[in-house]
């Protein structure tokens, strides 16, 4: 899925790249109401959406869904971006895209998990990944607890909370 070339019917290998000058020119035209410039700017920033949603692929979500939600975040970023602030568009857009994807993941879950527990689970997963890269092994709950300065019980609860629920209609495998 990570190496998927086509997402939502878009051949990602053929997405255009825009220079900073082109982006600035298009942003000015967009603020003046130019829809063609808007479409060109959106297409020129789809690679940004792809780079952001890659970090969410491991959550078991459909790549097409994540891409579409990321595009919603991109469009919101375009609508709310202020050229006068003198920051790169991507600096503004990435948190908007991430926020939109996180909101989707939070709201689309069959079981509601509080935001604080979900955020802790993201921190735990990031710490597990960091630890694994550094020490070449999986950390224990105690090590994660120590590194994050969070009680073991909270870590266990956060990891349990992000597990995909099993249906009661799911057949039990007998080995």
pLDDT in tens, 57-81: 766 678 888 889 999 999 999 999 9
Topology match between the domains 6-107 and 115-161? no
Instruction: Tell me which fold the domain 6-107 belongs to.
Output: 1.20.120
Return the domain boundaries, the chain.
6-107, 115-161
Confidence of residue 2 (pLDDT cuts 50, 70, 90): very low
Give the containing element (helix H, strand E) for 148.
Answer: helix 141-148
CATH, range 115-161 = 1.10.10.10
pLDDT in tens, 16-30: 888 888 988 999 899
Please check the confidence at residue 165 and state whether its pLDDT lies above 50.
Answer: yes
Instruction: Please report the pLDDT score of residue 8 as a whole number.
Output: 64
Q: pTM value?
A: 0.60
For CA atoms 53, 59, 62, 68, give the dihedral sign.
negative
| Distances, alpha carbon 79 to alpha carbons 32, 100, 162, in Å | 12, 14, 32
């Amino acid at each position: 899925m990570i190496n998927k070339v086509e997402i939502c019917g878009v051949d990602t290998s053929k997405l255009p790249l825009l220079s900073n000058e082109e982006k600035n020119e298009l942003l000015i035209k967009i603020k003046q109401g130019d829809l063609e410039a808007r479409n060109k700017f959106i297409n020129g920033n789809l690679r940004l959406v792809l780079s952001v949603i890659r970090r969410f692929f491991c959550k078991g979500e459909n790549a097409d869904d994540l891409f579409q939600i990321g595009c919603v975040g991109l469009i919101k970023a375009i609508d709310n971006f202020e050229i006068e602030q003198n920051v790169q568009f991507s600096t503004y857009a990435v948190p908007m895209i991430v926020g939109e994807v996180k909101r989707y993941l939070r709201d689309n879950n069959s079981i509601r998990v509080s935001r604080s527990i979900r955020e802790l689970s993201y921190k735990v997963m990031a710490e597990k990944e960091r630890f694994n890269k550094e020490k070449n092994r999986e950390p224990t709950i105690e090590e994660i607890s120590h590194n994050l300065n969070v009680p073991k019980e909270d870590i266990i609860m956060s990891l349990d909370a992000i597990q995909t629920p099993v249906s009661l209609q799911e057949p039990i495998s007998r080995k």
